[in-house]
């Protein structure tokens, strides 16, 4: 993934010299942008970056693309140094870093479709002097152009950086799986316990603990073996009675013998370790705020919820518990509830280790509360 950087800090120095200007003169262009007088319930001015695209409708800014910093006349606008990835495919993760002057209280990102509908969102968390955020791109969305919004707030000011991003193509093969009567019954089962287990899992993988920054040293495969199911595979289940149901595979299936050691893919905190009806003996580990790894169909579990684990530590042994047609480990990564391709984490394309080096041993971390 390529990275690009937008620096807008110069506006803070320039703004001080323009405070004596009359309102109509705030349209003056600076090297990095201009101040626009607006009529808004919360704000009276907006700094607009030079490359911004927007409408000014009756002194109200309609932001299309660029950097916009909203404030009131006796304040300084928020400046931001923003670095984000580019060149995305379905199932990828958008990683972003934001540094602001002055400091803000919270930062979030939202991916929207061409009609403005929300595709995914996540909060940022603090690591020393910067905000870091990961945003999952669902594997089921269409290829094409989307809009990425990164916003930040303090008590009285607000900024938004908005940019078009193109989500490229990624082919997902079709996998046809025939189920016997036992597995068919398991998939068709209407059980209150299954619904409760599903709600519990969703609550966990959609949670956001701003202090949960653990995976400083990157990610590795939890087990070595033959990959029999890839992330994003389109699956067609053929039931024993001939009925057909389709789904999307949210992780990677690794075929290994029953009893093979399964290791934590990265440092983290165990947030679930229990037997579930569909996924069998299962483990979930939290690595970053909103970032979790999931391990299904284990034969036995070696750790418990609340344990801290290190990358490579044994968390259990592989099996075929739950809905499984053979011995294997199902492993997946979730970002704010969105299933994403684990491989970029393994390749170091998502986690920039340099961000976290200065934090190791200090835990100088704070952040925003998730939704």
pLDDT tens profile 301-338? 999 999 999 999 999 999 999 999 999 999 999 999 99
Q: How far is Cα 147 from Cα 119, in angstroms, rounded to an integer?
A: 10
* Per-residue confidence (pLDDT) for residue 171, from 0 to 100: 84
Q: How far apart are CA 278 and CA 280, in angstroms?
A: 6
List the one residue out of 10, 155, 152, 165 whose CA is nearest residue 69: 152
Say if residues 277 and 187 touch (Cβ distance below 8 Å): no
pLDDT band at residue 169 using 50, 70 and 90 as cut-offs: confident
What pLDDT sits at residue 62? 87
- Homologous superfamily (CATH) for 174-340: Glucose Permease (Domain IIA) (2.70.70.10)
For 174-194, the DSSP string reads EEEEE--HHHHHHHH---HHH
Q: What CA–CA distance (Å, rounded) separates 71 from 40?
A: 10
From residue 257, give the alpha-carbon distance in Å to each of 181, 262, 314: 24, 11, 16
**Residue 4 confidence (pLDDT) above 60:** no
User: Is the pLDDT score of 370 beyond 80?
Assistant: no
pLDDT at residue number 69: 93
pLDDT digits (tens, 9 = 90+) for 44-64: 999 998 889 998 887 788 889
Please give the residue that has the higher pLDDT: either 216 or 134: 134
- What is the average pLDDT value for the chain, to the nearest integer? 84
Q: What is the pLDDT of residue 353?
A: 57
| pLDDT 10s digits, 283-302 | 999 999 999 999 999 999 99
**Percentage of the chain modeled with pLDDT above 70:** 85
Backbone angles phi, psi at 357, to 5 degrees: -55, -45
Closest CA to 293 of 276, 325, 269: 269
pLDDT number for residue 39 = 81
Compute the distance between CA of residue 210 and CA of residue 258 in angstroms, rounded to an integer.
37
Alpha-carbon distance of 79 to 99, in angstroms, equals: 8
Q: What is the pLDDT of residue 189?
A: 82
Neighbours of 42 (CB within 10 A): 11
Q: Boundaries of CATH 2.60.40.1930 in the chain?
A: 3-168
8 A C-beta contact, residue 327 and residue 320: yes
pLDDT tens digits along 350-359 = 766 555 544 4
Query: CATH 2.70.70.10 occupies which residues in the chain?
Result: 174-340
CATH fold for domain 3-168? Immunoglobulin-like (2.60.40)
| pTM recorded for the entire structure | 0.84
């Amino acid at each position: 993934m390529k990275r690009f950087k937008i620096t807008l800090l110069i506006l803070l120095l320039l703004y001080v010299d323009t405070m004596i200007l009359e309102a109509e003169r705030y349209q003056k262009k600076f090297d990095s942008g201009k101040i626009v007088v607006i009529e808004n319930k919360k704000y009276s001015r907006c700094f607009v970056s030079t490359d911004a695209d927007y409408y000014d409708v009756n002194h109200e800014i309609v932001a299309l693309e660029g950097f916009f910093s909203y404030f009131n006349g006796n304040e300084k606008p928020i400046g931001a140094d923003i670095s984000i990835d580019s060149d995305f495919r379905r199932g990828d993760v958008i990683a972003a870093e934001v540094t602001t002057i002055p400091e803000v209280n919270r930062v979030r990102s939202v991916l929207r479709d061409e009609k403005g509908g929300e595709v995914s969102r996540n909060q940022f968390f603090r690591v020393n002097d910067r905000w870091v955020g990961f945003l999952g791109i669902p594997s089921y969305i269409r290829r094409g152009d989307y809009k990425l919004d990164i916003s930040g707030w303090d008590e009285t000011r607000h900024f938004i950086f908005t940019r078009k991003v193109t989500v490229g193509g990624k082919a997902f093969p079709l996998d046809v799986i025939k189920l016997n009567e036992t597995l068919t019954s398991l998939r068709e089962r209407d059980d209150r316990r299954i619904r409760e287990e599903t709600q519990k899992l969703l609550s966990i993988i959609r949670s956001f603990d701003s202090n949960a920054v653990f995976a400083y040293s990157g990610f590795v495969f939890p087990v070595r073996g033959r990959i029999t199911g890839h992330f994003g595979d389109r699956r067609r289940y053929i039931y024993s009675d001939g009925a057909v149901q389709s789904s999307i595979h949210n992780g990677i299936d690794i075929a290994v013998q029953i009893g093979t050691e399964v290791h934590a893919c990265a440092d983290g905190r165990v947030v679930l370790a229990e037997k579930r009806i569909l996924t069998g003996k299962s483990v979930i580990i939290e690595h970053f705020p909103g970032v979790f790894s999931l391990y299904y169909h284990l034969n036995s579990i070696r750790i418990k919820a609340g344990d801290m684990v290190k990358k490579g530590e044994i968390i259990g042994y592989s099996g075929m518990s739950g809905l499984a047609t053979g011995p294997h480990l199902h492993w997946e990564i979730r970002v704010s509830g969105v299933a994403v391709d684990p491989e970029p984490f393994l390749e170091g394309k998502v986690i920039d280790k340099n961000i976290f080096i200065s934090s190791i041993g200090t835990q100088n971390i704070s952040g925003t509360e998730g939704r």
